[in-house]
Structure formats: C-alpha cells, structure tokens
C-alpha cells in the first residue's frame, strides 16, 4: 500500500509557521514551548486531515477534539468545585472556632479582640496601599525605577579584596 500523499500547506500558512518557529518559539519559556509543541502537533494533524480529503480521518479528528474539550471542561469544573468546597469548609471551621472563642472568653473580650484585629488589618492596608509604602528607589511601583522588585547592580563594582 502506498504511503498517504502529503499536501503542502498554503503559502501564507507556511510563511506564518516559519516566522513563528524562527522568532516567537525560541523566546517562549519552557512550559509554553511544550504546550506549543502539543498544539502544533494537533493542528498539523487537523490540517493534514482537512487537506487530504479523507472525511473519515477528519470526522475522527473532530470527534476526538470534541471529547477532549468535554473532558477538559469536566476536569476544570471538578477542580473548581473541590477548591470551593475546601474554602467553604475553612469558613465554617473559622466560624465554629470563633463561636467557641466567644463562648470561652466572653462577648466583651471577643469584641475587643475583633476590634484590635480590624485596626491591625486597617493599619496594614493603610500603610501598604493608601500611603504608597514601597515606592522608594529600590522597590518602586511597576512604572518607575524599581519595577516592583529589588534591583541588582549592573556592573560588578569595586572588588572588596583590593
């Protein structure tokens, strides 16, 4: 049996593929390169099936793609549901813990502690957000000198041993 005939890609697609592999792909981080390689293999098999005229292969590709997307959606919804469940359990446990705390120390002390906690959180937010803390020349906001991270000297500087 003869091997299946490979049809060349349209010129614009091959030009875009060359530009992508020459300029964009080398600049991608490692995980994105692996995702790109996986997507490229799926797209190449889809393009090959669509251009070869083999309707059975194209139909199988569409069915597999549909089932893959359905499974991915199911997994995404399952993970989100578990995360929401864990957050709800944490909130319920925090409320039960707060109820036991109020029962053990009394309402007045619990209100005083809650007031202290709210004041502490408010002072933290006021210090970090409202007063613009962290805008010095080492850890400035993203649009300014520091770029939001600790700066590293560009040159080696003077040797400490001489």
What is the model's pLDDT at position 113? 94
Whole-prediction pTM: 0.44
Residue 135 lies in a domain: yes
The total number of structural domains that make up the chain: 2
Check residue 28 and give its pLDDT: 82
Residue 92 lies in a domain: no
Counting residues of the chain whose pLDDT is more than 90, the rounded percentage is 35
The pLDDT assigned to 49 comes to 67
When pLDDT is averaged across residues 69-95 and rounded to a whole number, the result is 96
Quote the pLDDT of residue 138.
Answer: 46
The answer to whether residue 75 sits within a structural domain is no
pLDDT tens column, 89-141: 999 999 999 999 999 999 999 999 999 999 999 888 887 776 655 554 444 55
- Mean pLDDT taken over the chain: 79
Least confident of 8-22, 63-77, 126-140: 126-140
Q: What local confidence, expressed as pLDDT, does residue 20 receive?
A: 82
DSSP the chain: -PPPPPPPPPHHHHHHHHHIIIIIGGGS-HHHHHHHHHHHHHHHHHHHHHHHT-HHHHHHHHHHHHHHHHHHHHHHHHHHHHHHHHHHHHHHHHHHHHHHHHHHH-HHHHHHHHHHHHHHHHHHHIIIIIS-TT-SSSS--TTSTTTTS----SS--S-TT-
**Residue 133 within any structural domain of the chain:** yes
| Domain assignment of residue 95, yes or no | no
From 60-64, 74-78, 128-132, the region with the lowest mean pLDDT: 128-132
Domain range for 21: 7-53
Does some domain include residue 37? yes
In a domain, 114, yes or no: yes
For residue 100, is it within any domain?
no
């Amino acid at each position: 049996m003869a091997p299946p005939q490979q049809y060349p890609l349209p010129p614009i697609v091959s030009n875009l593929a060359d530009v992508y592999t020459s300029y964009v792909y080398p600049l991608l981080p490692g995980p994105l390169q692996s995702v790109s390689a996986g997507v490229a293999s799926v797209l190449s098999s889809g393009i090959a099936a669509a251009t070869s005229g083999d309707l059975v292969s194209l139909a199988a590709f569409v069915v597999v793609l549909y089932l893959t997307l359905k499974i991915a959606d199911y997994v995404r919804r399952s993970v989100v549901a578990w995360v929401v469940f864990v957050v709800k359990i944490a909130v319920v446990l925090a409320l039960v813990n707060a109820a036991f705390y109020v029962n053990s120390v009394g309402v007045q002390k619990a209100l005083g502690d809650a007031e202290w906690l709210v004041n502490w959180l408010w002072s933290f937010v006021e210090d970090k957000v409202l007063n613009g803390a962290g805008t010095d020349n080492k850890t400035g906001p993203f649009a300014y000198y520091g770029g939001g991270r600790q700066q590293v000297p560009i040159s080696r500087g003077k040797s400490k041993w001489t």
